[in-house]
Chain A
Amino acid sequence: MAELWNTIILEPVLNSLIALTTMLGGSFGLSIIVLTVVVRLALFPLTVRQTQSTKAMQTLQPRIQELQKKYGKNQQKLQQEMMKLYKEAGINPLGCLWPMLIQLPIWIALYPSIMQALAATPENLLDLSQHLYSWAAVGNAVPLNEQFLWLRLSRPDPNLILAILVGGTMWVQQKMITPPPTDPRQQSMTSMTTMMMPLMFGFFTLSFPSGLALYWVISNVIGIVIQYFVSGGWGYLRAPSAAKPAPAQAPGQKPVPAQKISPIEKQSKIAQKATEESKTIKKASDEKRRGLFGR
């Protein structure tokens, strides 16, 4: 299993990094940046699909709010109806996490690759010798320069700069794609998801090699740029964080009596509503189907 991992993931990442360093005039930091760009380019179709899903979800918001009103007291039913709605529109609400999940093996391989390539410890250097290809660009590349800007890439950034950059860019990216919760009860969960990951990754940055954190920052920035251009703006970053509840009735204010509706008018309103619903779902589906360059 370990050998399979080394052959399929670790060695390609490690040797690519070293070969890129040789090609980029010996800068290991630049080679991490280029590798990040390549990985994000490979994931581009998935990222675009996820971004379109997010935008499609935005168009479903009025419909979700209606479901909220209708099934507010029955959470299970509400969840079922929302999932049904997402399914009809062809949206995966967890899609935003897939690009992150798919990059996980790269992160895990990048950690030993950085430590080995930069000979962080004598054991790392011994391991490096076992994983090098016989490429000319790799064979005589050692020693590599671990200095990049103010960073020693095999060591954590002693300042908070990189931790803030990682946490900040991750928060912006999450915020752009996370729709504000329609149910105030979901608000804490959504806020936790939006805040927890950036905070945790910011904290990880303090103990991980700064080369890995550099990957995270660049990857997040690329994600933000893709998100910006695909969804045509800052998305939910500018939207209010949660749907506001209806304003409370002022003390002493008389309740407005409900208008009486005739049975024919009622029939016509139901038909109109059904047409609007179907239009919303269709719009959401179209939004999702439309490609980045097809708008």
Chain B
Amino acid sequence: MRKLSLILFVIVLSMLGLSCTGPTWQGWSGFASYEGNLYFGTMDGRVLAINMSARSQGLSFPSEEEWLLTVKRPAPAGGMCGPMGCVPAAQPATIYATPAITDNIVYIATYAGDSGKVMAINRLTPGYDAEGIPAWNEGEWFYPRSENKYIGSVVGGPIVVEDTLYVGSSDGKLYALDEKGDERWAPFDTGGKIWTSPAVGDGVVYVSNYGGKLFAVSSTDGSLIWEIELPASIASSPVISGDIIYFGTFDRNLYAIAVTDGSERWKFEGGNWFWATPMVKDGVVYAGCFDHQVYALNAITGEKLWHFVADAPIVAPPMLSGDFLVATSESGEMYILEPDTGNLVRSISIGYQVMAPLYAEENMVYVHARNRCVYAVDVQSGDNVWEFCYSDIE
């Protein structure tokens, strides 16, 4: 009987262990910056504003212009409780999407299992109350407007172009919202979850989905202009440069697509998935790949100019800072490269995983690492100027 109890105990314990591993989403928001402040979503479902000057001086948080806002968890409908907890449990909210910012408003999009919300927050003094209701009369709002209504969870960051906010969601829809949070046009349904940011150019919104499709949609009325289908999923956001859209896919190719009709200009095959959003500057496309390499390609022909081999897959998009190209591997190794040759100038170890997009300003690069800390790194000297960990902040 003891053996029987032991076997049952092992089985039940294993199943409980499986069920208690907790949510697997933690988020990896990048930064939006305005007047010396960084705004980003934390891995524990909060929105944080930190002042770069205050952090470099090591002042206690919050100093002037700094604040913290907790995103409200969506309440599950019809929850059912038992000895092991409640099913469905309240989904914790987190933030993957890099915020967008205008003069006074920070736009955040949240991820909570199947639920997401777009929030407009007054960046000077957030007016959201303890119930998660915005200060409507101060320009704050959330979408959908009803407290208990949600769109699909959001992974790709929202973008603001000419008073319109564009955001794609896991429910497969592209939303266009005005400055009051009202729909500009009926959401455009792509039919597959959107985990990327849209891109806008010349009155056209380009959005890709996980089903491997890229859509060109009129920014005026949300009507479809053209669409193309590729052989695999797309997790890299499209980037427009001139008359070409660049993005990578899971079929190991980086594509250059004509904005006019979606025809393929060229494609470049890497050794694994292209996840990171590419960066285009001065006729060169810089793209990080899961094959541990950073590629520099001729933007017109797709010809490889150089490649650099990192220690781990590249998840965060490469970025230009001053005269250098900065690429960070998933393992937390930061590489400072010469953009013309790909030669390594120096490498800096963050020491923790990095998935979030970097933010660069002058010679400084800001990194949101998986240990819930923000690092400010001087790429000229390679010094870690300051770091700020938010997990202890109440």
Q: A197: which of B8, B28, B212 is its contact (CB, 8 Å)? A: B8
Q: Does A263 contact B (CB under 8 A)?
A: no
Q: Are A193 and B4 in contact (CB under 8 A)?
A: yes
Q: Which residues of chain B come closer than 8 Å to A200, judged between CB atoms? A: 12, 15
Summarize B's interface: helix, strand, loop or mixed. Answer: loop
For A10-40 the 0/1 string (1 means CB < 8 A from B) is 0000000000000000000000000000000
Q: Does B80 contact A (CB under 8 A)?
A: yes
Q: Are A189 and B210 in contact (CB under 8 A)?
A: no
Q: Are A143 and B80 in contact (CB under 8 A)?
A: no
Q: Are B210 and A119 in contact (CB under 8 A)?
A: yes
In whole angstroms, how far apart are the Cα atoms of A13 and B103 in the complex? 51
Q: Does B82 contact A (CB under 8 A)?
A: yes
Q: Does B74 contact A (CB under 8 A)?
A: no
**Known interface pairs A97-B4, A126-B315, A129-B272; A204-B15 also in contact (CB < 8 Å):** yes
Q: Which residues of chain B come closer than 8 Å to A241, judged between CB atoms? A: none
Residues of chain A in range 123-143 having any CB-CB distance to chain B below 8 Å:
123-126, 129-130, 139-140, 142-143
Q: Are A204 and B233 in contact (CB under 8 A)?
A: no
Q: Are B313 and A189 in contact (CB under 8 A)?
A: no
Q: Are B88 and A207 in contact (CB under 8 A)?
A: yes
Residues of chain B in range 355-372 having any CB-CB distance to chain A below 8 Å:
355
**Known interface pairs A94-B7, A142-B250, A143-B210; A121-B355 also in contact (CB < 8 Å):** no
B4 nearest CB neighbor, chain A only: A94
Q: Which residues of chain A come closer than 8 Å to B8, judged between CB atoms? A: 97, 193, 196-197
Cross-chain pair count, CB within 8 angstroms: 92
Q: Does B192 contact A (CB under 8 A)?
A: yes
Q: Which residues of chain A come closer than 8 Å to B82, judged between CB atoms? A: 203, 206
Q: A204: which of B19, B28, B273 is its contact (CB, 8 Å)? A: B19
For B175-216 the 0/1 string (1 means CB < 8 A from A) is 000000000000000001001000000000000001110000
Q: Are A101 and B87 in contact (CB under 8 A)?
A: no
In whole angstroms, how far apart are the Cα atoms of A124 and B315 in the complex? 14
Q: Are A122 and B96 in contact (CB under 8 A)?
A: yes
Q: Does B155 contact A (CB under 8 A)?
A: yes
Interface residues on A, range: 35 or more
Q: Which residues of chain B come closer than 8 Å to A193, judged between CB atoms? A: 4, 8
Q: Are A189 and B18 in contact (CB under 8 A)?
A: no
**Known interface pairs A115-B24, A156-B87, A189-B1; A143-B192 also in contact (CB < 8 Å):** yes
Q: Which residues of chain A come closer than 8 Å to B225, judged between CB atoms? A: none
Q: Does A208 contact B (CB under 8 A)?
A: yes
In whole angstroms, how far apart are the Cα atoms of A22 and B14 in the complex? 31
For B211-236 the 0/1 string (1 means CB < 8 A from A) is 11000000000000000000111010
Q: Are A140 and B231 in contact (CB under 8 A)?
A: yes
Q: Are A126 and B4 in contact (CB under 8 A)?
A: no
Q: Which residues of chain B come closer than 8 Å to A43, judged between CB atoms? A: none
Q: Are B272 and A120 in contact (CB under 8 A)?
A: no
Cβ of B79 to closest chain A Cβ, rounded Å: 10
B313 nearest CB neighbor, chain A only: A129
Q: Does B84 contact A (CB under 8 A)?
A: yes
B290 nearest CB neighbor, chain A only: A129
For B77-92 the 0/1 string (1 means CB < 8 A from A) is 0001011110111000
Q: Does B26 contact A (CB under 8 A)?
A: yes
Q: Which residues of chain A come closer than 8 Å to B315, judged between CB atoms? A: 126
Q: Are A207 and B89 in contact (CB under 8 A)?
A: yes
In whole angstroms, how far apart are the Cα atoms of A51 and B349 in the complex? 58
B315 nearest CB neighbor, chain A only: A126
Q: Does B324 contact A (CB under 8 A)?
A: no
Q: 5 closest Cβ contacts across the A-B interface? A: A206-B87, A121-B25, A143-B233, A207-B87, A97-B7
23 pairs, A vs B, C-beta closer than 8 Å: A79-B1, A94-B4, A100-B11, A101-B7, A107-B15, A108-B18, A119-B210, A121-B24, A121-B25, A122-B28, A122-B195, A123-B25, A126-B315, A126-B330, A129-B273, A140-B250, A142-B250, A143-B211, A156-B87, A200-B15, A203-B84, A203-B87, A204-B19
